Structure 1
Amino acid sequence: MEYLIQNMFLWFNITEEMLYTKREIPTPIDTLSWDYYQYVKKNPVTRWNSPTYILYGGKDNLQSLRVIENFAKSNPVALTISEQSEHSFMGNGDNEIIKSWIYNNL
């Protein structure tokens, strides 16, 4: 989450100082919150002990595949990558991809 928030700083020309001063800043993606940002920084996920299944869109423009792969390698995570899907999984054919993934993983 910290990776995504820091990218949002870059994408929307926001600094930590601006967020600290304003406490909340709306963006086209979501509202950035100073309190939540501090929570994320103070509570990084260093170990995820629950078996987890992730469906990742290969064309995701919000989260890095490298970050997802690193998380999956160091935790009990089964990662499935849908190469042609975006973050929202709302493209043509994504509905069937999601149904198939749910059937095969949950």
Structure 2
Amino acid sequence: MNAMLYIHGNGGNASESQHYEELFPSCDVIGLDYKTFTPWETGQEIRWAAEKLAEKYNDVTLVANSIGAFFSMSGNIDCFIKKAYFISPIVDMEKLIEDMMVWANVTEQELECQKVVFTDFGEKLSWEYLTYVRAHPISWNVPTQILYGSGDKLTSFATIDAFAEKHQAELTVMKNGEHWFHTDEQMRFLDNWIRSH
């Protein structure tokens, strides 16, 4: 028996996993509704889920969306996962936080002093989060397929390409795709990508 573990992105939920049931017909598809939102806590939640699945199933495949991919990689779950599909993954959180600091016109010194800064675009910047990310670089050793939209505003092509090359992941780029795959055209592309891999 095989399982597919789905980890949603920011603002998502476990019910999104239902979309993947027909794409993984030989798997029990399980979505995780994590309750925390930091790499040290959420990574642990995902690790517990992956460990339980690995005890029950022969093979566990991971499908992770956006920050869900970052949280998954933060959980040190390599030994429980046979294959991974990352959709618009956040692969360099330090770079993303630094970019958001620029967008919010917040210096590193200001963030260190204030500890937490709420931005006009709805994101919370945290000094604790940034220092944790810097102290815990990503380690990932799972055969991985990556789907990336050329119009992704959160992760540059250079960043995703460097990650794919470093981790021997296969990168597929959808021209004019966005960070959030949600239109009919984008979802068809996503479905065909999974079927072909």
Question: Shorter-chain TM-score category?
Answer: 0.7 to 0.9
Find the counterpart in structure 2 of residue 81 from structure 1. Answer: 173
Structure 2's unaligned 5+ residue stretches are 1-92
CA distance in 2 between counterparts of 1:67 and 1:82 reads 16
Aligned length: 104
CA distance in 1 between counterparts of 2:123 and 2:169 reads 27
2:101 paired residue among 4, 9, 19: 9
Contact 1:57 1:86 in 2 (8 A): yes
Residue-by-residue CA offset, 1:21-78 (whole Å, 9 max, x unaligned): 2222223152111111001111122x42111221111011111100110111111311
Find the counterpart in structure 1 of residue 124 from structure 2. Answer: 31
Structure 1's unaligned 5+ residue stretches are none
Cα RMSD over matched residues? 1.6
Letter in structure 2 aligned against 1:99: D
TM-score (norm 2): 0.49
Find the counterpart in structure 2 of residue 19 from structure 1. Answer: 111
Contact 1:54 1:80 in 2 (8 A): yes
TM-score (norm 1): 0.86
CA distance in 1 between counterparts of 2:130 and 2:114 reads 13
Letter in structure 2 aligned against 1:38: T
Aligned identity (percent) is 38
Mark the structure with the bigger radius of gyration.
Answer: 2
